[in-house]
Amino acid sequence: MTELNWLTATEIADAYAERRLSPVELVKALIERINALDGKVNAFIKLDAEGALDAARQAEKDILAGRTRSPLHGVPVAVKDIIDIAGLPTTCHSKVLLDNIAHADAPVIAHLRAAGAILIGKLSLHEFAFGGPSAELPMPFARNPWATEHQPGGSSSGSGAALAAGFVPLTVGTDTGGSIRGPAGLCGVVGLKPTYDLVSRQGVFPLAFTLDHIGPMARSVADTAILLDALAGNVPGRAFGAELERGVRGLRFGFVRHFHETDMIADPEVTAALAQVVRALTSEGAQVQEVRLPPLKQIIAVQRVIMHAEAWAVHAKWLRERPADYTSPTRRKLLSGVFLTAGQHVHAQQLRGPMIEAVNSVLRDVDILICANGMDPASRLDDAADMARTYPRQARAPFNLTGHPALAMAAGFTRAGLPLSVQFVGRANDEITVLRAAAGYERATNWSARRPPMQVVAGLAAE
């Protein structure tokens, strides 16, 4: 059997069914790995070892008795520390909420419990899903397991890092301007921002009400689909992975080349990886044509106005009363909302409609869009200038504005061994086709089988 820490959720479910593995055995192995290695990765804010072991013992009894609830029964899941789990802190990685204990489960957590998943802990993030890596944070910021001197993306930084480090098979993140897809891309895993409002936002601390999304992250497309089933409420007769085996033959892809070739010129290794994505899909029988959307910077500008205005509305009271409890990067970003007027917010919302229609129009002629995710490989954490330069260079925010489902996954590696990525974007409420396309590409390339170099992992354990 594959090392326990690298098993996918699908493999775990099969191993349970065949009595080759028990939930208690798996959870103990993951806790041991987290305790040994997370001191250098910093993926977890709160590891709930006791709660996870209790849940594992109950899951073991249920599975042995034939009471398996779903493919996630007995599978460990960790969630971004912006989502309420009853009895655990929801800190949002901020001094402002260090003592904030959740009194009830968010609906997404209730759905996971109903599916039998084991909640193993809360994961690191950018402060309030908006700041960035900072020494001012109350807990250490997450690092990229592929090279710990590099950043793992944000704001669901711990969610991506925990998967890449082999700490847990599934994580839950949030995405307001790309915060699931950024870490997925830089950590070489899969992250899906579902259609707006497909997954409940209740019990999740808001950043921008009309842009926030909650979604699954995993090391495989199949696991992403299974986790989305649970997060969305396991509706009878609906399975988001229903077409994973169909492949891409016959699918029509629209390649949004201008995003990374002219609107925001990507790093050459990113450009080369995207060209290879197109070649791989074509060789598998897909049809690929070039398409155009509104200019990338124009779409992002509209998304930014809405995000900053809504974020200020959420934080205005605390920023007036206790500004020193925010880190400098978060405070600086939030305060920019002070200077936006109601009229500017309304105007941005008016521009939003035509941009949604522009994406819808293109998706009437093609089934899936292909575009860049981030424009650069992961920058070094000690290079403030490069961090500032590369963080805004992305093509994720447009689909928070429009609400379309968007999935990011590995599309190769740099010469230095850092992950590169691609986005697949689909019609509203057509996650099934997005996941089908991603699964077809995953099988054609097998990038998902790559793991961080073992000397890095060994180095973490030894240091």
**Residue 2 has what pLDDT?**
67
Q: What is the pLDDT of residue 189?
A: 98
Domain boundaries, the chain: 8-462
Of 438, 413, 430, 463, which is closest to residue 240 (Cα–Cα)?
Answer: 430
Structure tokens at 118: 């084991």
**pLDDT tens across 394-406, in order?**
999 999 999 999 9
SS (H, E, C) 273-292: HHHHHHHHHHHCCCEEEECC
pTM above 0.85, yes or no: yes
Specify the pLDDT at position 1: 60
Distance of CA 319 to the CA centre of its chain: 28
Q: What is the pLDDT of residue 128?
A: 98
Say what the pLDDT of residue 237 is.
79
CA neighbor of 186 nearest in space, from 373, 424, 41, 456: 373
Treating both helix axes as pointing N-terminal to C-terminal, what angle do 49-64 and 23-41 enclose, rounded to 10 degrees? 150
Catalytic residues, which ones?
80, 155, 179
The pLDDT value given to residue 461: 46
Q: What is the pLDDT of residues 163-174, one digit of tens each?
A: 999 999 999 999
Residue 230 and residue 172 in contact, taking contact as beta carbons nearer than 8 Å: no
Mean pLDDT per block of 10 residues along the chain (463 residues) reads 90 97 98 96 98 98 96 98 98 98 98 98 98 95 97 97 98 98 98 98 98 98 98 88 97 98 98 98 98 98 98 97 97 96 96 98 98 98 95 97 98 98 98 98 95 61 43
Cα–Cα distance measured from residue 336 to residue 401, given in angstroms and rounded to the nearest whole number: 19
- Categorise residue 19: left if φ over 0, alpha if ψ from -120 to 50, beta otherwise: left
CA distance 77 to 26: 12
Fold of 8-462: Amidase signature (AS) enzymes (3.90.1300)
pLDDT of residue 270: 98
Q: Token pair of 278, please?
A: 């197109």
The confidence score (pLDDT) of residue 463 equals 41
- CA neighbor of 179 nearest in space, from 147, 198, 158, 153: 153
